[in-house]
């Protein structure tokens, strides 16, 4: 549905959003296909931050399950075949893209949230889940869907997870990772809203950074996160470095993709 934009992919920096906030982590008329504006200037190779690499010993311990601490606040999982199929059908697919987008590794759902945003979800039960991610140039798109045991659980989960505090998780988490990658990030805008509406409950996060490289070159790096609930499902669509042809954020193309996922979740 959208063309590819160029540049170097900043997957590591973008994934910081969900390493820090991952826990927190109807009928509509078809929207016209919206495409972003021309690509921004490509980010230099030095800006392609993948995050700190774990030591060999740390990696081996994780594979063996040594030292892995169970998150007592995480939702329980009782996955059902039908709900898993529903979630997989709902997330964005490669066929939804247009151009040379490629599947990418989704961000991690591990992590303890951030200060002030560590609610207890242990009373909720996830019955289906799926995710997808795509990268191209300096842009990254990810979609995640979770189905809960009932609509009441989904409603409470959404209200506790996607509040104003989650904006700080995104803003500060990405800024810190960019800085650890040798860049100088500055937040120029960070805002939370409950619209434009997608589904029954909606929370939208917009954060704009200006990145300065060690050579003094500056680049814009926008991040948009659209979250919503419909029925028993909670979804999150995340976008990094997607240009907006009309200047609005989130752009029409991002809203189109969020509503596409929402429409698939409402199918019988």
pLDDT single digits (tens) 131-181: 999 998 878 999 999 999 999 999 999 999 999 999 998 898 888 888 888
| 112 pLDDT higher than 50 | no
Burial 22-54 (b: 16+ CB within 10 A, else e): bbbbeeeeeeeebbbeebbeebeeebbbebeee
Sign of CA dihedral 267, 223, 136, 177: negative
Contact 258, 237 (CB under 8 A): yes
Sign of CA dihedral 115, 117, 120, 121: negative
Average pLDDT over residues 4-29: 38
Could you tell me the pLDDT band of residue 70, with boundaries at 50, 70 and 90?
A: low
Contact 47, 8 (CB under 8 A): yes
Q: What pLDDT is stored for residue 96 in this prediction?
A: 93
Contact 220, 19 (CB under 8 A): no
Per-residue pLDDT tens over the stretch 200-233? 999 999 999 999 988 889 989 999 999 999 999 9
Cβ-proximal residues to 90 (8 Å cutoff; 6+ apart), any chain = 130, 145, 233, 235, 261, 264, 265
Contact 90, 82 (CB under 8 A): no
Q: What pLDDT is stored for residue 1 in this prediction?
A: 53
Average pLDDT over residues 33-40: 32
Beta-carbon count within 10 A of 248 CB: 12
Q: Average pLDDT over the chain, rounded to whole?
A: 77
Maximum mean pLDDT: which of 9-23, 27-41, 167-181, 196-210: 196-210
Select from 2, 16, 46, 7 the least CA-distant residue to 223. Answer: 16
Least confident of 17-26, 145-154, 237-246: 17-26
Q: What pLDDT is stored for residue 149 in this prediction?
A: 97
Contact 105, 11 (CB under 8 A): yes
Q: What pLDDT is stored for residue 2 in this prediction?
A: 56
Select from 227, 268, 220 the least CA-distant residue to 247. Answer: 220
């Amino acid at each position: 549905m959208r063309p590819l934009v160029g540049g170097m992919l900043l997957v590591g920096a973008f994934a910081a959003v969900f390493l820090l906030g991952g826990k927190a982590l109807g009928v509509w008329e078809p929207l016209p296909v919206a495409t972003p504006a021309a690509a921004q200037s490509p980010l230099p190779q030095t800006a392609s931050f993948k995050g700190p690499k774990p030591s060999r010993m740390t990696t081996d311990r994780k594979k063996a399950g040594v030292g892995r601490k169970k998150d007592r606040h995480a939702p329980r999982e009782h996955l059902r075949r039908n709900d898993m199929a529903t979630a997989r059908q709902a997330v964005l697919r490669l066929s939804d893209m247009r151009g040379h987008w490629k599947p990418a590794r989704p961000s991690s759902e591990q992590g303890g949230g951030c200060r002030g945003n560590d609610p207890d979800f242990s009373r909720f039960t996830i019955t289906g889940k799926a995710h997808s991610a795509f990268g191209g140039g300096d842009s990254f798109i990810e979609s995640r869907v979770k189905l809960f045991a009932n609509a009441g659980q989904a409603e409470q989960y959404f209200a506790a997870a996607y509040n104003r505090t989650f904006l700080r998780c995104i803003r500060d988490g990405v800024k810190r990772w960019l800085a650890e990658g040798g860049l100088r990030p500055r937040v120029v805008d960070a805002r939370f809203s409950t619209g434009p509406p997608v589904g029954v409950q909606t929370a939208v996060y917009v954060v704009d950074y200006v990145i300065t490289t060690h050579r003094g070159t500056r680049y814009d790096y926008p991040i948009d996160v659209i979250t919503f609930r419909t029925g028993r499902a909670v979804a999150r669509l995340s976008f990094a470095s997607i240009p907006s042809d009309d200047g609005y954020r989130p752009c029409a193309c991002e809203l189109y993709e969020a509503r596409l996922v929402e429409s698939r979740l409402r199918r019988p």
